[in-house]
């Protein structure tokens, strides 16, 4: 087995004829690529129509190893977001369309939760007070599917504090900021920022 194939196995992706093929989430990328690009879930009918919430990705390094997060970017479009469009105290995919997916080529800690190399989904439970962040082994479920079967694959959860932004953010944005060995994921939308720290193990 080649090094690229080993990476594919570690990420939970199957190789077929030199390509990586998954039923949901990630599809048609060379085996030699350790971290898959952000690609639509073509098994879902909405993927074949223009999207109001485009798919985006942000790449970064933790401890010298590459990582990437893929997510959908919904816009406010005049709506009240937190507490209305995104209810408080309910699970949220933290984006739109597919689950928000985190890929890492090395071991990391996300808000203190240890993750081995591989791919994971990240979702949150917004609140007027502290938010809860969840990491899950499942990446093949639909974005809205946070059923007991999906939640049974949770790795851990952590609490993070929201911050108030000075200006309105129209489109949900995940950014990164490196502070020493820590990479802070910044989840910005409306007037709220939530920071999720990622560190080497």
**Residue pLDDT, tens place only, 31-89:** 234 355 677 665 555 556 677 888 999 999 999 999 999 999 999 999 999 999 999 99
Average pLDDT over residues 190-194: 98
pLDDT at 106: 94
Report pLDDT digits (tens) over 13-41.
433 333 333 333 333 343 234 355 677 66
Question: For 81, what's the count of Cα atoms within 13 Å in the CB-facing half-sphere?
Answer: 20
Q: Where are the domains of the chain?
A: 36-199
pLDDT at 146: 82
Q: Give Cα 145 distance to the centre of its chain.
A: 15
CA distance 93 to 141: 11
In the DSSP assignment, the letter for residue 88 is: T
CA distance 63 to 181: 7
Report pLDDT digits (tens) over 101-124.
999 999 999 999 999 999 999 999
Helix (H, G, I), strand (E, B) or coil at 94: coil
Neighbours of 126 (CB within 10 A): 23
Q: Give Cα 146 distance to the centre of its chain.
A: 14
Report pLDDT digits (tens) over 152-184.
999 999 999 999 999 999 999 999 999 999 999
Q: How confident is the model at residue 140 (pLDDT cuts 50, 70, 90)?
A: confident
pLDDT at 40: 64
CA distance 148 to 117: 25
Model confidence at 135: pLDDT above 70: yes
CA distance 101 to 26: 10
CA distance 153 to 143: 15
Question: Using CA of residue 67, residue 186, residue 97, residue 86, what is the dihedral sign?
Answer: positive
pLDDT at 67: 95
Instruction: Determine phi and psi for 31, rounding to 5 degrees.
Output: -60, -30
Helix (H, G, I), strand (E, B) or coil at 23: coil
pLDDT at 124: 97
CA distance 140 to 47: 15
pLDDT at 125: 96
């Amino acid at each position: 087995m080649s090094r690229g194939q080993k990476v594919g196995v570690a990420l939970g992706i199957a190789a077929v004829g030199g390509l990586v093929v998954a039923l949901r989430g990630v599809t048609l990328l060379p085996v030699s690529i350790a971290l898959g690009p952000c690609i639509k879930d073509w098994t879902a009918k909405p993927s074949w129509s223009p999207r109001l919430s485009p798919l985006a990705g942000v790449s970064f390094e933790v401890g010298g190893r590459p990582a990437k997060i893929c997510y959908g970017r919904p816009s406010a479009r005049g709506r009240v977001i937190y507490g209305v469009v995104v209810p408080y105290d309910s699970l949220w995919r933290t984006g739109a369309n597919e689950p928000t997916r985190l890929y890492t080529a090395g071991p990391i800690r996300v808000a203190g939760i240890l993750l081995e190399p591989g791919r994971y989904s990240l979702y949150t439970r917004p609140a007027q007070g502290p938010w809860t962040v969840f990491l899950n082994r499942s990446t093949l479920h639909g974005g809205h599917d946070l059923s007991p079967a999906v939640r049974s694959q949770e790795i851990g959860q952590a609490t993070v504090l929201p911050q108030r932004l000075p200006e309105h953010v129209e489109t949900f944005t995940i950014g990164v900021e490196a502070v020493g060995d820590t990479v802070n994921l910044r989840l910005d939308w409306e007037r709220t920022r939530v920071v999720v720290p990622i560190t080497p193990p």
